[in-house]
Amino acid sequence: MKKVLVCCGSSMITSSVAINKLKEVFKKENIDVTFGQCKFSEVPSMAKTFKPDVIVPTGPLDEKAAGGVPIVRGTSFITGVGEKETVEQILNILKK
Amino acid sequence: MKISEFFNNELVVTNFDAKCKEDVFDVLYKKLYENGFVKESYLEAIKKREKNFPTGLQLNRYNVAIPHTDPEHVVKPAIAVATLKNPVIFKNMANPLEDVEVSLVFMIALNEEHSQVEMLQQLIQLIQNDVLLEKIIREDGGDGIEKIIKQNSQKLTGGK
């Protein structure tokens, strides 16, 4: 089971949108994924306890916060611009 | 809840002559507050959040901003809309060092975390649809914008 942590500023609006998009993608790709969702400020602790395979922030996230977990910026799930590339990057990490 | 249920012609300003994004926050907050959708604390919370986590979105044709804040400042869920006479500068959600010239603002008031995913997906589909955005930008008055969104609500499927 792969784990994806999606995070955003604070009110879980953009991260909810991103999770919904990713759910469709993983269903199509037939990959079993557990999602975590949190605020940017909670990423350092979630990186340790949830142990995600990849972190998808909807805005910029300090690399240090991720504790070595790969980050793929997910703003394209909101704008639609570059969404395909973002999906590919995430799938590449999960399929490793 | 469908996206059309969140829009209300009382919560729309069209062709608004704003000098900066704060002007837009002020005018939309006033509408939300006077119609009982948000608490007094909403305005400061929106401004603070926008500063820390900007919501300008660089799109294909018309750029959009989606300012929002925490549920504790909201009474009833709604989306307030402003179309701008001239674009104002927001910072880019993807990169806060970059400016985005925004023509259309959807100020979101949600009163529950993790809620309303269907509506949010529909809103995202709406802002990714250049044709619909152009129709909204060209509209004069809240009634017209409400109508466009209601008419197209069926097409916006909530990502399902």
pLDDT score at B150: 86
C-alpha closest to that of B119 among B2, B16, B38? B2
Q: What CATH fold (topology level) applies to the domain A2-94?
A: Rossmann fold (3.40.50)
Q: Is the pLDDT of residue B28 over 60?
A: yes
- Residue pair A20/A39 in contact (Cβ under 8 Å)? The answer is no
Domain spans of chain A, in order of start: 2-94
ipTM of this predicted structure: 0.88
Q: Is the pLDDT of residue B160 over 50?
A: no
CA angle in degrees (0–180, nearest 5) for A11-B29-B98 = 60
Q: Is the pLDDT of residue A81 over 70?
A: yes
Residues 21-60 of B with CB under 8 A from A: 49, 52-54, 57-60
Of A42-46, B97-101, B149-153, minimum mean pLDDT range: B149-153
Q: Which residue of A has its CA nearest to B55?
A: A59
Q: Which residue of B has its CA nearest to A9?
A: B53
C-alpha closest to that of B20 among B95, B90, B78? B90
pLDDT score at B119: 84
